């Protein structure tokens, strides 16, 4: 199943197709800047909810073809349902009692889980149905006028494969991209901004790079090509992903017997990969607690020491999309705001809800930047 689905979806995440989504990123970023402007001179506010709504809007429009404008509305019930499901999942994984489905059914978590699943599935089905209707209207308009049909998004690719994918498989893929596309990216972006709020030198270097690309224009026409030129920002993002890996652990199952370090690992054994532990290994990253983007200037020498998107065949299919999106959001914010550490000093309480989060929020300060 994985091979068939991956082969089908891979073409959508090529740079050639991702290029056209930069204008969607910028449109949502403009709204974000306008909203964050109200928080200027605030020394202590949680930026995560603002980033999450912005990125969810972007994911829905660029991948699903649906405009939500969640940034200008109340927080979606979808977010709380995602949080509930992730917390319950981690509770069950680590509980010797709740891991059994029979016992889990008699707990309070089971009722919350069922309600949250219904909310998530209802939202997914509404997205699928809405896009189907849009495609029908688009085809009719194109046929009657002889005009050019709008460019396809990820969901169109899925819907056109209805002859090979069941409805539940379509729903599973949409669920994966909605959740994976926004939750990990939102957390990562927020943590990166937190790192920058505590590092003026890195902020200044990013601004210097922005000036080299755009001159002194604070609100330039951002293109795919210009985002690709942001090499220093690329290293900043990678360092943020190293320090705060969005998915700090993931699992793999051996499909064959493996000899490792004098041991025989049988086929079928499941291995937990502690990505965060690898990213904090002083063997690969001297002084690992330090935020130092220069580490990634020679990454090619140790490619598998950095795995925020996994590695190998089953790596994250959306990593190019995620990096492009994070660079777009962070560069937009840095061109418009100076970031400062929260006052009084803010200490994040990191928790693992499948995705790494901060229970105490991701608090920073903002000052309006007059020019770059």
- What is the C-alpha separation between 177 and 347, in angstroms, rounded? 31
Place of tokens 């709504």: 53
For the chain, 372 residues long, the average pLDDT of each consecutive 10-residue run is 83 82 93 95 91 94 87 82 92 91 94 95 91 82 58 79 80 87 94 97 96 92 94 97 94 92 94 94 94 84 86 90 96 96 89 92 93 78
The CATH H-level superfamily of 2-368 is: Cytochrome P450 (1.10.630.10)
The reported pLDDT for the residue numbered 276 is 95
Cis before residue 175, ω within 30 degrees of 0?
no
- What is the C-alpha separation between 50 and 36, in angstroms, rounded? 8
Determine the 3-state secondary structure of 142 from DSSP. Answer: helix
The reported pLDDT for the residue numbered 134 is 85
């Amino acid at each position: 199943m994985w091979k068939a689905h991956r082969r089908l979806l891979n073409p959508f995440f090529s740079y050639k197709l991702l290029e056209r989504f930069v204008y969607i990123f910028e449109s949502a970023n403009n709204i974000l800047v306008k909203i964050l402007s109200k928080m200027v001179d605030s020394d202590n506010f949680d930026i995560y909810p603002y980033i999450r709504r912005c990125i969810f809007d972007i994911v829905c429009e660029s991948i699903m073809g649906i405009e939500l404008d969640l940034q200008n509305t109340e927080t979606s019930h979808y977010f709380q349902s995602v949080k509930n499901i992730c917390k319950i999942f981690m509770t069950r994984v680590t509980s010797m009692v709740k891991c059994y489905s029979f016992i889990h059914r008699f707990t309070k978590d089971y009722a919350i889980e069922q309600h949250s699943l219904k909310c998530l599935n209802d939202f997914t089905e509404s997205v699928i149905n809405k896009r189907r209707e849009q495609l029908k209207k688009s085809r009719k308009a194109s046929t009657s006028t002889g005009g050019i049909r709008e460019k396809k998004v990820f969901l169109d690719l899925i819907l056109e494969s209805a002859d090979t994918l069941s409805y539940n498989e379509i729903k599973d893929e949409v669920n994966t991209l909605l959740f994976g596309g926004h939750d990990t990216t939102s957390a990562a972006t927020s943590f990166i901004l937190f790192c920058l709020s505590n590092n003026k030198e890195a902020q200044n270097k990013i601004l210097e790079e922005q000036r080299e690309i755009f001159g002194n224009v604070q609100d330039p026409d951002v293109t795919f090509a210009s985002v690709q030129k942001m090499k220093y920002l690329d290293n900043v993002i990678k360092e943020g992903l190293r320090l705060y890996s969005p998915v700090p652990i993931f699992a793999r199952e051996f499909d064959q017997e493996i000899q490792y370090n004098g041991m025989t690992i049988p086929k079928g054994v499941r291995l937990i990969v502690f990505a965060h532990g690898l990213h904090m290994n002083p063997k690969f990253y001297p002084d690992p607690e330090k935020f130092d983007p220069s580490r990634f200037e020679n990454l090619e020498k140790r490619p598998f020491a950095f795995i925020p998107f996994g590695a190998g065949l089953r790596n994250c299919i959306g990593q190019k999309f995620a990096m492009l999106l994070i660079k777009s959001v962070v560069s937009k914010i840095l061109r418009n705001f100076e970031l400062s550490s929260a006052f009084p000093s803010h200490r994040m309480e990191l928790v693992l809800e499948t995705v790494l989060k901060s229970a105490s929020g991701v608090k920073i300060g903002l000052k309006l930047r007059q020019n770059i």
